Amino acid sequence: MRFLSLFRTAMASSFTVHRLHMRGRSRLEKCRNTFETIFRRSVGTEPEVAQTQGARGDHSGDKDGPKSLYNLMADRQEQAEKSVLISCPSRTSEKRFLKFLSNHGDIKKHFFYESYGVYAVVEFASRDNVVSLLESAAIPGVSHESVVPFKSRLLSLRNHSSVDSPTQQSGLPCQPQTTVPISELIQRLSREESVDDQINSLTEAYQLTEENSRLRFLVCSLLKDIAASYFPECTIRPFGSSVNGFGKLGCDLDMFLDLDSISGWNMKMPKSGLSLEYQMKRTNSERHVTQSILSVIGECVDHFGPGCVGVQKILNARCPLVRFAHQPSGFQCDLTANNRVAMKSTELLYLYGELDPRVRSLVFTIRCWARAHGVTSSIPGAWITNFALTVMVLFFLQKRTPPIIPKLDYLRDLAGPADESVIEGNDCTFVTDFSKIQLPSNTETLEQLLSDFFEFYAMFPFSRMSINIRKGKEQNKLEVTPLHIQNPFETSLNVSKNVNSSQLDRFVALCQESAWLLQQSENRTPRGVGGDNTPTPWGLATLLLPSQVAGIKGRKKRKREPASERIKSLLESLKNKNEGWKSQDS
Ligand code: GTP
Ligand code: MG
């Protein structure tokens, strides 16, 4: 398969880095397995035996080259179209269930998960199998209620047998769809042997699974069936962290109603003779068209969408959207339309994540750290968003010597004619052929990068400078907002406009503290287990413990080893910051 070469590229570059830092063969194997899992999940492909080869960009064993995000998404969409979602009584026998469904065709893949009951995702070999299955399904019989007779691929399994045999009563093997609680994660990390292992372990525990990724595309496909009542040629595509490689289990599902196949379709008019064109309603603003479409689709989702609850139409936002919860999947959904710039940002983040496995690992770690300390939140507000934080990590990686990822302008320069993309006057062009991207070899460990990330932002001149991944260099800030991160494509916009100075100060204080914690000798190696057999937190695990900033003074008093001069000055500034912060709170 074509994605294999992408895998090889990732593996090859991870090996270049890790070969230098691993002590033995067993560590090498462990690392290889970790990256195999991480890679497989991030692109959401089936397991396949991987062979390492060549250096980055060597796709000789694979004539088609790596798959673009669009091709990967097309495969996922195809799978989703052939899938159904079935609510199952928890005591259903898996064998009996599969035998029953296979009356309609071959089952390519199935799995169970729990969300307000047990559900099964079943992918058939063809769409005809799904049609056959749907034809056999009945309308629910209700005595005191009425049903909206909208048929979808969300079904309920009914068991009419009065007695099940003991084997049929066994529970269904459910795939987890949520992350482990932070306390469990801290314990897991504390058992690892190195900070690099901790970072890889965190990435593995938090990233989207193959099943979760399938479920996201299936929800998009189910919604497409609703929207298709009006726009039969439409597509609903996921974007944001569901597909950019940085998604964490439980993240929201951002969707984009793509009508380009209809409105962007300009058939060449003949120069002579007769031709026809559609009569279409006209308005004077594209935003108004978007709002009208979302308003109507939002009503349909609200009134007819099985499993869709709490529908809110937020049409006056900068980017109009319909927000709702999809109960059977447990996803918080945001449906937008005409949001092609966000799709390009998604593609860009995906590309950066593919260039080097350290990118994803560091982004996951920083996102997890930020969430553990309330730097980010699921509630909108003056917090730094995950998107802004990801751009900050990318910027930091561009600033390494040599850089780990290139600046966006370089990716723009490498673009060919097929990559050209101008959306609403914004240049969104960048290269999509990974093999054209040449990077110098940087062999820094994840531990080094994590520690330096905190130092970098602990000392970043936020008051004067703006973060700019297009240039890969900080720029003079022209606005008086506390944090300025230039939007990569809509360059006049600041992606962190919402962040206030107290949130920025908090972020900086936490960076200072985390940099300091990672310098402490007792945090740099495993600390064994305590009396109750619980591993003592060390390394990354220490950074995820609560109330770090508040507790730092007490820690300081216990006279630790002398920190480097740089860290001493960080501590000094942290002390000053803490005092200021407290007086603000009181
Ligand atoms: P989580 O949902 O927090 O896991 O991350 P996310 O990356 O999905 O962020 P979010 O749901 O807030 O936004 C979805 C996508 O919209 C992002 O990945 C970006 O592509 C885009 N996006 C979000 N915020 C901004 C912004 O301020 N400016 C721009 N240009 N795009 C944004
Ligand atoms: Mg999102």
Nearest-CA residue for ligand 1 atom 22 is 342
Calpha distance 389→381 (Å, rounded) = 15
Q: How many angstroms does the Cα of residue 558 sit away from the middle of ligand 2?
A: 42
- Confidence class of residue 527 from pLDDT cuts 50, 70 and 90? confident
Summarised one tens digit per residue, pLDDT across range 255-310 is 999 988 776 555 677 788 998 888 999 998 989 999 999 999 999 999 999 999 99
Per-residue pLDDT reduced to its tens digit, 242-256: 999 999 999 999 999
Q: Of 203, 255, 242, 179, whose CA–CA distance to 43 is shortest?
A: 242
pTM, two decimal places: 0.84
The bound ligand whose nearest atom lies closest to the alpha carbon of 245 is 1
Q: Which two tokens stand for residue 170?
A: 């066994």
Averaged pLDDT, 382-407 = 97
For residue 583, pLDDT over 50 is answered with no
Q: Probe ligand 1: pick from 387, 467, 470, 493, max atoms within 8 Å of CB?
A: 387
Q: Which two tokens stand for residue 342?
A: 């966000």
CA distance 257 to 319: 13
Q: What percent of the chain has pLDDT over 90?
A: 65
Q: pLDDT higher for 560 or 477?
A: 477
Strands 83-88 and 118-124: antiparallel
pLDDT for the residue numbered 578: 45
Give the pLDDT confidence score for residue 262 in this predicted structure: 73
Q: Flag whether pLDDT at 574 surpasses 80.
A: no
What is the DSSP code (8-state) at residue 315? T
What confidence score (pLDDT) does residue 277 get? 86
Q: What is the pLDDT of residue 359?
A: 98
Dihedral (Cα; 549, 553, 554, 556), 10-degree rounding: 110
Give the pocket of ligand 1 (CB within 6 Å). 239-241, 244, 247, 251-252, 254, 341-342, 345-346, 385-387, 487, 490, 495
For residue 437, how far is its CA from the centre of ligand 1 (angstroms)?
A: 25
**pLDDT band at 566, cuts 50/70/90?**
low
pLDDT of residue 550: 42
Mean of per-residue pLDDT scores for the chain: 83
